[in-house]
Amino acid sequence: MADAAPPSKSRDLDKLLLRPGNLVGPSFEPGVQLRDDLQEYAKVLVVGAGGLGCELLKDLALSGFKNLEVIDMDRIEVTNLNRQFLFRLEDVGKPKAEVAAKRVMERVSGVNIVPHFCRIEDKDIEFYSDFNIIALGLDSIEARSYINAVACSFLEYDSDDNPREETMKPMVDGGTEGFKGHARVIVPGVTPCFECTIWLFPPQVKFPLCTLAETPRNAAHCIEYAHLIKWDEGHSGKAFDPDNPDHMKWVYDEAVKRAELFGIPGVTYSLTQGVVKNIIPAIASTNAIISAACALETLKIASGCSKTLSNYLTYNGVEGLHTKVTEFVKDKDCLVCGPGVLVELDATVTLQKFIDMLEEHPKLLMSKASITYRGKNLYMQAPPVLEEMTRSNLSLPLYDLMDKVPKDILHATGTINKDNKKSSGLRKLRVNFKGIDGVTDMDMAGGA
Amino acid sequence: MIKLFKVKEKQREIAENANGKAPVKKQSAGELRLHKDISELNLPKTCSISFPNGKDDLMNFEVTIRPDEGYYLGGTFLFSFQVSPIYPHEAPKVKCKTKVYHPNIDLEGNVCLNILREDWKPVLNINTIIYGLFHLFTQPNYEDPLNHDAAAVLRDNPKLFESNVRRAMAGGYVGQTFFTRCM
């Protein structure tokens, strides 16, 4: 033993990746190869470079991931600095994604982080298909729903409605609100997706407009009055921009006047921002806990070194501490991640014939169907104005209406007649045109 | 899944520059649910719907209400609807585009209808909202005022309220406020 090996940077990681174990994932193959592959082949996208995003980038970089990208549309603000620890005072005004990527690369050698300073909707879908895992550090239902839909759009099912593993795009989603947080693993086709359980979110608190106009009782009422009612009166048609400090100041000033009129205390500029922008209070340590859980799940999905969280972890530090993992269940009819109903057709079938077929299809039994394809309404049963606009499509071949794509998804709404009961339903259909070049070949390749 | 990642990376290299799929418009779950709502609309004769951006933009539409009874008989009132991608988790944003003398609609077109804000639930739909709006014209109420003056007149002097409504709808002044004709 002349030279002891230099202490490895991945010493702690090696304990997970190089040794076999009893509680590992089903496809776990420990060894140096795994560690090297993880570094070479795993590409992870971090969505959001805020409180969770900063933590996620740091955690993933320190967990051995070498190929990271981060996307965020925001610029750094002074109020971020207490917890978004990658940022400094001199960074205020710079794009979060760029500064976060740079800081982590400076500290962790060998990691490459590509920043994207833009909206998530600005990237085309192909951009997202490049990543193996998507880690979410977001603060809105809307953004989560969007990324979830993109990730699920890559998922394909075989003819027996089994999801194809190679088309799954796993996501790890974190979220915090003060002392509370959640971490969840979404493997489209295997676990429920975000849309399967979206109904679990409580509705947003919205004050009645007449309360705001007539009987304000607290500071938030005064602010919402200025924001929702007074703004329109004073700015004929000009839209309120929450990111414009002048607009925010105007709303604040009006809210103060309103509060004085009714003798209500507590209107401050920061509360105005909080109410108008729906800002959620953030605590650095909650972010750290949730991000750590998400980063570990990302590592587990990629390496198989342990079974993954199944599938929704909640953390609540409000009164004492409570944490629990709940296994959410899939909605088998989910429009976003579900297989939908496979319908095989000749390329000559007209839209009218197709609609008639849905009535007979044993898995659908849908009459009076309205059909929509990727944002194009092919036929609408109602209202009359839309029926008239779409009627001429009925005599056209569906294949042509679907831009001659041999297999794709479309959606149908109609009356479902099941067990002599009628109910209205919205269904996802996987349309597969028979005898179109390419389709048969692909199917055989899949089955071989 | 690392083995899969490896395979995919190889495939990607091969497929690079190969015929990519044309960029496609994605439909949000909210859009699909709205498609269902719209295709199942069952409106009273007094209400009609139109789509200013054509048949493929359902997220922005207009509803016209022509009350067939009550104070507002003979008037035509236009509402704009803006639906979010996370509909029905969030209620549509509804504004009245016709300036109206009404206790529950202010002069900027804000509408005080409980199901549009505090009482919205994802089981409700576009049909429910349109019926709710229609109801505001047959049963204006002074208990949830947005137009304070109109509400006070309706409560204290229904006869005066009625003549104020007629004057506003015919095009004219009520107090200091001018209303354009909407009959």
| Closest to B43 (Cα-Cα) out of B128, B112, B135, B136 | B128
A256-308 residue pLDDT tens = 999 999 999 999 999 999 899 887 788 999 999 999 999 999 999 999 999 99
Taking CB atoms and an 8 Å limit, are A207 and B118 in contact across chains?
yes
Q: How far is CA A206 from the centre of its chain?
A: 24
User: Per the residue annotation, which of B47, B96, B112, B182 is the catalytic one?
Assistant: B112
Tell me the pLDDT band of A445, cut-offs 50, 70 and 90. very low
Alpha carbons A178 and A283: distance in angstroms, whole number: 5
B50-88 residue pLDDT tens = 999 999 999 999 999 999 999 999 999 999 999 999 999
Tell me how close the Cα of A130 comes to any Cα of chain B, in angstroms: 9
Does the structural domain A341-447 have CATH classification 3.40.50.300?
no
SS3 A343: strand
Would you state the pLDDT for residue B20? 44
Taking CB atoms and an 8 Å limit, are B20 and A389 in contact across chains?
no
Would you state the pLDDT for residue A7? 62
Would you state the pLDDT for residue A428? 94
Q: pTM of the full predicted structure? A: 0.88
Q: What is the ipTM of this complex?
A: 0.86
Would you state the pLDDT for residue A234? 83
Q: A8 pLDDT exceeds 80?
A: no
Architecture category of domain A11-201+283-326 in CATH? 3-Layer(aba) Sandwich (3.40)
Q: A4 pLDDT exceeds 60?
A: no
Q: A444 pLDDT exceeds 70?
A: no
Tell me the pLDDT band of B22, cut-offs 50, 70 and 90. very low
Residues of A catalogued as catalytic: 210
Q: Where are the alpha helices (DSSP H) in chain B?
A: 2-15, 29-39, 126-138, 148-156, 158-170
Q: A6 pLDDT exceeds 80?
A: no
DSSP B22-35: PP-----HHHHHHH
Tokens standing for residue A33: 């190869």
B162-174 residue pLDDT tens = 999 999 999 999 9
Q: A132 pLDDT exceeds 90?
A: yes
Which chain A residues contact residue B109 at CB under 8 A? 232
Tell me how close the Cα of A320 comes to any Cα of chain B, in angstroms: 31
Domains of chain A by residue range: 11-201+283-326, 209-276, 341-447
Taking CB atoms and an 8 Å limit, are A213 and B148 in contact across chains?
yes
SS3 A377: strand
Domains of chain B by residue range: 29-173
| Closest to A104 (Cα-Cα) out of A291, A369, A375, A305 | A291
A65-104 residue pLDDT tens = 999 999 999 999 998 999 999 999 999 999 999 999 999 9
What value does the mean pLDDT of chain A take? 91
CATH of A209-276, one of 1.10.10.520, 1.10.10.1800, 1.10.3720.10, 2.40.50.140: 1.10.10.520
B98-150 residue pLDDT tens = 999 999 999 999 999 999 999 999 999 999 999 999 999 999 999 989 999 99
Q: A447 pLDDT exceeds 50?
A: no
Would you state the pLDDT for residue B24? 57
Tokens standing for residue A357: 């077929």
CATH topology for the B29-173 domain: Ubiquitin Conjugating Enzyme (3.10.110)
Taking CB atoms and an 8 Å limit, are A426 and B12 in contact across chains?
no
End-to-end CA distance of chain B: 67
Report how many Cβ contacts below 8 Å link chain A to chain B.
168
Tell me the pLDDT band of A1, cut-offs 50, 70 and 90. very low
